[in-house]
A and B are shown apart, each in its own frame.
Chain A
Amino acid sequence: MEYLKKYPKLFQWLFLLIVFFALCFAIDVPETYKFIRGQAEFVKDPNQSVYFFLGKEVRYYAFDVFWRLPPLLGWLPIWINDSLFFLMNEWMPMEFWNEDTQEFKTRPLLLEISRNLTSFMTFLIELIREILLGGLETIVAFTSWDFIDAYPWLELPGLPWTIVAAGAALLSYKLSGKGLALFAGLTMIYISIFGQWKPSMQTLSFILVAAPLSFIFGLGLGIAAYKSKRVEKALYPILLVMQTMPQYAVLVPALVLFGVGDHAAVIITMVVAVPPMILLTILGLRAIPPEVIEAGRMSGCTNWQLMFKVLIPTARRDILIGVNQVIMVCFSMAVISAFIGAKGLGFNLLLALNQLNIGLALEAGLCISLIAILLDKMSLAWANKQTDYFGNLTFFQRNKNAIFFAASFVIGIILAYVGTFIFKGSFNYLFEIPHNKGISTADFWNKGVDWIFDTFFVYIKAFNTWLIQDVLQPMRALYLRMPAVATLVLAVGAGYLIGGVRSALVVAALTLFIALSPWWDRALVTLYMATFGVVISCLIGFTVGTLCFQNKKSAAFMLGVCDIFQTFPSFVYLIPVMMLFGITDTSVLIAVIVYATIPATRYTIEGLRSVPVGLHEAATMSGVNKFQRLTKIEFPLAFPHMMLGLNQTIVFALFMVIIGAFIGTEDLGQYILKALSDKNGAGIGLTLGICVAFIGLIFDNLIRTWVGKRKKHLGIA
């Protein structure tokens, strides 16, 4: 009884677990359940029940409601599909002038808008692409094919790679200094020599279109949300869902609305890249000291002047950090968009992975990683760069970077011209090294992979078999054995114990959505893979983080490593694991673990670092040893921040599990992948994405609520 009074929470939790397990044992697996394991959504089956809702027919296997809830939301994907179809093809038909046929034509409004948007995007991408690589589409867009036939010299020539490399190095120098300039130059040379120039520039042109547009929209919406509480309230849930939504899932609706290709990818990239920009804009504007705003107003600023002359320049750093985020999201989308036909590095990577040509995939992956690091470092350097006074400098000093660029421009052209004489009859290596005509190390890597397989095959296979048979499958069976009602009770109970009625309601709503969707089983499989990854990631991350924290240098080094690894698009992680473990669940799980360990490690180090120096000194003066200091002072204080790390770890793990579907897992991601090639896939893809986002949000809500309370309790909020 005394214990009960001393630790009331502990007993509440114990009680919750007892109820959960009691429910698990009380509710039997129904006979019919083995059918559903192989269920296919739209196949007619005599055993299926049918219900109608909003005129939509939904089929499902009838069940004991305690075991699995009926798919009452089964109509949602179908309804989304039909609505999209209706909007695109039937809604608001209007007369539009058709330039080609010179007559009016009736078309649905949304289709016309989508077409116009699409062609505008295509034009932008082509323009930048042709500046970098050359071509004639841009000229044609202003004139006609006949015109270009008459004046063939009008074709844009494209920039020699030397100029782009020099430009990148100079820009890096201006932003950061010699180190980054060197890195930029070497990266560009590597890309060029290894024959990845064309796809790299295609990817780059994609980013050059998507990032500025995302920036403008994000900044605009961020300002609107800062100005008006109502806008912020409306945006907030969308931002929340978009943060945990797998990027993969939004590709499917894009396919329906905008078709296949770069333009669709750019538009959908904006959808993904705008939310972080909005968040950071709001954050930056909120962080401005109120006195600066008052100073602006007392100077007699109008609202407009206040925003553009005082607020935005003052929030410059946060806004530029937003730009950094936008660029990184755009880059990672540029890779994933290969699934809906965006050209560039991602497309090559996808192709190589499909052919199981690990060597080629590795080369493309390395290119992607290098460019990702370069873009990240450059945009961060821009954010951290402070304005300098240059009025007292000479003309040359002020414009030296521009002058150097002009010089390298001329030199690059001369070199390219000279190149035409040197490389007669073959490719002009000083102008542009074509794809796959550079040096390739693919064979070397492929042989290496073969060697690894030949040599270690027995061990790898043994490990693989052991992991799958003795760990993963039992775990998976356990997860699937949970009756829906028991899971609901557990989730809602946890919500109530952590955050009271409010949290319980939020968690209940999110869980119910998933439980009522037709994919509860898949969600459980996703959850099991994510849990496995998260547990191992946290074990590794917390240990490594704690160890590295013992020494200032190793801590800084580890944070640097985390920074670099975090810039890689998640897709890249699949290459090395496929190399070693082939196409199995093990590969995905290892990729999940590697990817999710990053935030676990980072937050551990950051959390431990944030313990105030005064406390350290107080502890040292009380005569604690290192271990005591760690367990009695640092861990308790750093724990809330480490839990935020856990939150990130879960999101990262979910993302990776979903992408892992590409190499064949059985979870929600698999269905998203299927939806990509289904003509009715838009609704399914979107609903699946929301399901994944909700899994993330359930944990996000619980962890954040707990952390908030704990921080308040510790007085470090």
Chain B
Amino acid sequence: MSETVIKCESVYKIFGENAKKMLEESNGNVDAKTFQERGCIVGVNNASFEVAKGEMLVVMGLSGSGKSTLLRCISRLTDATGGKIFIEGQDLLELNNKELIELRRNKMGMVFQSFALLPHKTVVENIAFPLQIKGTNTEESISRAMEMVKLVGLDGRENYFPRELSGGQQQRVGIARSLAVEPDIWFLDEPFSALDPLIRKEMQDEFLRLQEKLQKTIMFITHDFDEALKLADRIAIMKDGIIEQLDTPANIVLNPATEYVRKFTEEVPREKVLIIEDVMDASSKDNLGDLKVSKDEIIENVAEKILTQEKLVGVVDLNNNIVGSIKPSKIIDTVFGGRKNGS
């Protein structure tokens, strides 16, 4: 894989007065219960992972699972209690205030659940805000902000105030603001949770379109498992501050690591998540029928075609080489079978 942008090594975040001391005493074995008895609350417990350039890591968890805390450790809105965090090889926790501000001004963008727009500034002024903070002159920052307005499809509303916009529109402003400085790393903290289901879907599609174009390194927080499946390259599922499983959507659905994760995957429509490659048989490439499907197809899109076949269906890669095969009955197995025995 390509270069690592974000790297966490056993990051801990513990709230409370003696957090640091207690963490040292515990030798890395943090038990939330004993900590709570002594007045500390464990937010993030031994989180280690890497995010590669251009990758989208979705952190999924219910409220109180520590997902937002983890994000705030990595953006250093709160200081981690223990562990190391590297941003493009730089030790984040070693940066002084000035370096941190420099990093945020040039490398990081963040979108918030409640939009967090400045009420006294218009749409375009809000978007230009990070640029002006940086010291870009007014004319340049406004023209740059206008590009952003167009990018998120708000042209014509650039002189509105946040109070005059709907939730979806406000979040578009939030997104545009976070992108104004052209950051390499993009943090999104439940950006669509405060929106109506219909608007949410529209914004997710919009977001995927943007990401296609921009190819940022992304950490995306959500409590919605479907959203995570839809957007993620990889998903980290958190519970009580611990990352229960970190894997691709397909692997999480097919091989949930813990009981907790399995509960989430139970209701997931597999045909919408899995691609042919996940379920194909790579060993048998003979006796194929006429139908060939691409290995990157989502099952749902080709299920009907495959199910009408009697013979094995060939699976091909981008260059039309056969890489495996799939039985029509395998599709039925995947869609209906897996759920009952929870494999």
A binds B: yes
Within 8 A of B (CB), among A293-316: 294-295, 297-302, 305, 309-310, 313-314, 316
Query: Known contacts A291-B114, A309-B133, A386-B161: does B120 contact A300 (CB below 8 Å)?
Result: no
| Residue pair B118, A297 in contact (C-beta under 8 Å) | no
Residue A391 at the B interface, CB < 8 A?
yes
| Residue pair A298, B75 in contact (C-beta under 8 Å) | yes
Digitize B140-179: 1 where CB-to-A-CB distance is under 8 Å, 0 elsewhere.
0000000000000000000111010000000000100110
- Complex Cα spacing A298 to B112, Å: 11
Q: What are the residues of chain B within 8 A of A627 when measuring CB–CB?
A: none
Query: Known contacts A289-B114, A289-B116, A291-B116: does B108 contact A298 (CB below 8 Å)?
Result: yes
Contact of B159 among A295, A305, A392 (CB under 8 A): A392
Residue B197 at the A interface, CB < 8 A?
no
Q: What are the residues of chain B within 8 A of A313 when measuring CB–CB?
A: 118-121
Residue A615 at the B interface, CB < 8 A?
no
Residue A292 at the B interface, CB < 8 A?
yes
Q: What are the residues of chain B within 8 A of A310 when measuring CB–CB?
A: 118
Residue B199 at the A interface, CB < 8 A?
no
| Residue pair B159, A300 in contact (C-beta under 8 Å) | no
B294 nearest CB across to chain A (Å) = 40
| Residue pair B133, A301 in contact (C-beta under 8 Å) | yes
Contact of B119 among A294, A299, A314, A391 (CB under 8 A): A314
In this complex, the interface size class of chain A, counting residues with CB under 8 Å from chain B, is 20 to 34
A290 nearest CB across to chain B (Å) = 9
Query: Known contacts A300-B101, A300-B105: does B159 contact A391 (CB below 8 Å)?
Result: yes
- Complex Cα spacing A313 to B121, Å: 9
| Residue pair B118, A389 in contact (C-beta under 8 Å) | no
- Complex Cα spacing A386 to B115, Å: 19
A288 nearest CB across to chain B (Å) = 10
| Residue pair B101, A292 in contact (C-beta under 8 Å) | no
Q: What are the residues of chain A within 8 A of B118 when measuring CB–CB?
A: 292, 295, 310, 313-314
A164 nearest CB across to chain B (Å) = 31
Residue A228 at the B interface, CB < 8 A?
no
Q: What are the residues of chain B within 8 A of A289 when measuring CB–CB?
A: 114, 116
- Complex Cα spacing A313 to B178, Å: 20
Digitize B186-205: 1 where CB-to-A-CB distance is under 8 Å, 0 elsewhere.
01000000000000000000
Q: What are the residues of chain B within 8 A of A392 when measuring CB–CB?
A: 159
| Residue pair B110, A294 in contact (C-beta under 8 Å) | yes
Residue A101 at the B interface, CB < 8 A?
no
- Complex Cα spacing A387 to B126, Å: 14
Q: What are the residues of chain B within 8 A of A316 when measuring CB–CB?
A: 119-120
Residue of A nearest to B115 (CB): A291
Q: What are the residues of chain B within 8 A of A294 when measuring CB–CB?
A: 72, 77, 110, 112, 116
- Complex Cα spacing A291 to B116, Å: 6
Digitize A15-58: 1 where CB-to-B-CB distance is under 8 Å, 0 elsewhere.
00000000000000000000000000000000000000000000
- Complex Cα spacing A289 to B130, Å: 19
Residue B129 at the A interface, CB < 8 A?
yes
B317 nearest CB across to chain A (Å) = 41
B15 nearest CB across to chain A (Å) = 14
| Residue pair A302, B163 in contact (C-beta under 8 Å) | no
Residue of B nearest to A303 (CB): B97
Q: What are the residues of chain A within 8 A of B114 when measuring CB–CB?
A: 289, 291
Residue B20 at the A interface, CB < 8 A?
no
| Residue pair B77, A300 in contact (C-beta under 8 Å) | no
- Complex Cα spacing A389 to B118, Å: 14
Q: What are the residues of chain A within 8 A of B161 when measuring CB–CB?
A: 386-387, 389
**Residue of A292, A294, A300, A316 ringed by the most chain B CB atoms within 10 A:** A300
Residue B113 at the A interface, CB < 8 A?
yes
Contact of B112 among A295, A301, A309 (CB under 8 A): A295
Q: What are the residues of chain B within 8 A of A309 when measuring CB–CB?
A: 129, 133
| Residue pair B104, A387 in contact (C-beta under 8 Å) | no
Q: What are the residues of chain A within 8 A of B116 when measuring CB–CB?
A: 289, 291-292, 294-295
A391 nearest CB across to chain B (Å) = 6
Within 8 A of A (CB), among B202-227: none
- Complex Cα spacing A386 to B72, Å: 32
Residue of B nearest to A294 (CB): B77
Q: What are the residues of chain A within 8 A of B129 when measuring CB–CB?
A: 299, 309
Digitize B55-91: 1 where CB-to-A-CB distance is under 8 Å, 0 elsewhere.
0000000000000000010010100000000000000
- Complex Cα spacing A389 to B112, Å: 25
Residue B45 at the A interface, CB < 8 A?
no
Query: Known contacts A294-B112, A313-B120, A387-B161: does B75 contact A300 (CB below 8 Å)?
Result: no
Q: What are the residues of chain B within 8 A of A305 when measuring CB–CB?
A: 133
- Complex Cα spacing A345 to B163, Å: 43
B17 nearest CB across to chain A (Å) = 14
| Residue pair A302, B109 in contact (C-beta under 8 Å) | no
Q: What are the residues of chain A within 8 A of B72 when measuring CB–CB?
A: 294
Query: Known contacts A292-B118, A387-B120, A389-B161: does B113 contact A300 (CB below 8 Å)?
Result: no
| Residue pair A291, B101 in contact (C-beta under 8 Å) | no
B90 nearest CB across to chain A (Å) = 16
**Residue of B106, B113, B129, B160 ringed by the most chain A CB atoms within 10 A:** B129
B171 nearest CB across to chain A (Å) = 12
Contact of A300 among B115, B133, B160, B187 (CB under 8 A): B133
Contact of A386 among B105, B106, B133, B163 (CB under 8 A): B163
Query: Known contacts A305-B133, A386-B161, A392-B159: does B104 contact A299 (CB below 8 Å)?
Result: yes
- Complex Cα spacing A137 to B75, Å: 59
- Complex Cα spacing A291 to B190, Å: 12
Q: What are the residues of chain A within 8 A of B160 when measuring CB–CB?
A: 389
Q: What are the residues of chain A within 8 A of B112 when measuring CB–CB?
A: 291, 294-295
- Complex Cα spacing A300 to B177, Å: 12
Residue of B nearest to A297 (CB): B77
A229 nearest CB across to chain B (Å) = 14
Contact of A302 among B101, B119, B122, B177 (CB under 8 A): B101
Query: Known contacts A289-B114, A300-B133, A305-B133: does B104 contact A314 (CB below 8 Å)?
Result: no
| Residue pair A389, B122 in contact (C-beta under 8 Å) | yes
- Complex Cα spacing A175 to B174, Å: 30
B336 nearest CB across to chain A (Å) = 43
- Complex Cα spacing A391 to B160, Å: 11
Contact of A297 among B104, B122, B178 (CB under 8 A): B104
Residue B339 at the A interface, CB < 8 A?
no
Q: What are the residues of chain A within 8 A of B121 when measuring CB–CB?
A: 313
Residue of A nearest to B132 (CB): A309
- Complex Cα spacing A264 to B131, Å: 48
Query: Known contacts A292-B118, A389-B122: does B130 contact A300 (CB below 8 Å)?
Result: yes
| Residue pair B133, A298 in contact (C-beta under 8 Å) | no
- Complex Cα spacing A291 to B171, Å: 13
| Residue pair A291, B133 in contact (C-beta under 8 Å) | no
| Residue pair B77, A299 in contact (C-beta under 8 Å) | no
Residue of A nearest to B131 (CB): A299
- Complex Cα spacing A316 to B121, Å: 12
Q: What are the residues of chain A within 8 A of B113 when measuring CB–CB?
A: 291
Q: What are the residues of chain A within 8 A of B104 when measuring CB–CB?
A: 297-300
A380 nearest CB across to chain B (Å) = 18
- Complex Cα spacing A314 to B75, Å: 23
| Residue pair A389, B108 in contact (C-beta under 8 Å) | no
Q: List 29 A-B contacts (CB under 8 A).
A: A291-B112, A291-B114, A292-B116, A292-B117, A294-B72, A294-B110, A294-B112, A295-B110, A295-B174, A297-B77, A298-B75, A298-B77, A298-B104, A298-B109, A298-B110, A299-B104, A299-B133, A299-B177, A300-B101, A300-B104, A300-B133, A301-B101, A301-B133, A302-B101, A305-B133, A313-B121, A389-B122, A389-B159, A389-B161
* New A-B pairs, 19, CB < 8 Å, besides A294-B77, A294-B110, A389-B159: A289-B116, A291-B112, A291-B116, A292-B117, A295-B110, A295-B177, A298-B75, A298-B109, A299-B129, A299-B133, A301-B133, A305-B133, A313-B118, A313-B120, A313-B121, A314-B120, A316-B119, A386-B163, A387-B161
The chain A residues found within 8 Å of chain B, CB to CB, are 289, 291-292, 294-295, 297-302, 305, 309-310, 313-314, 316, 386-387, 389, 391-392
The chain B residues found within 8 Å of chain A, CB to CB, are 72, 75, 77, 101-102, 104-106, 108-110, 112-122, 129-130, 133-134, 159-161, 163, 174, 177-178, 181, 187
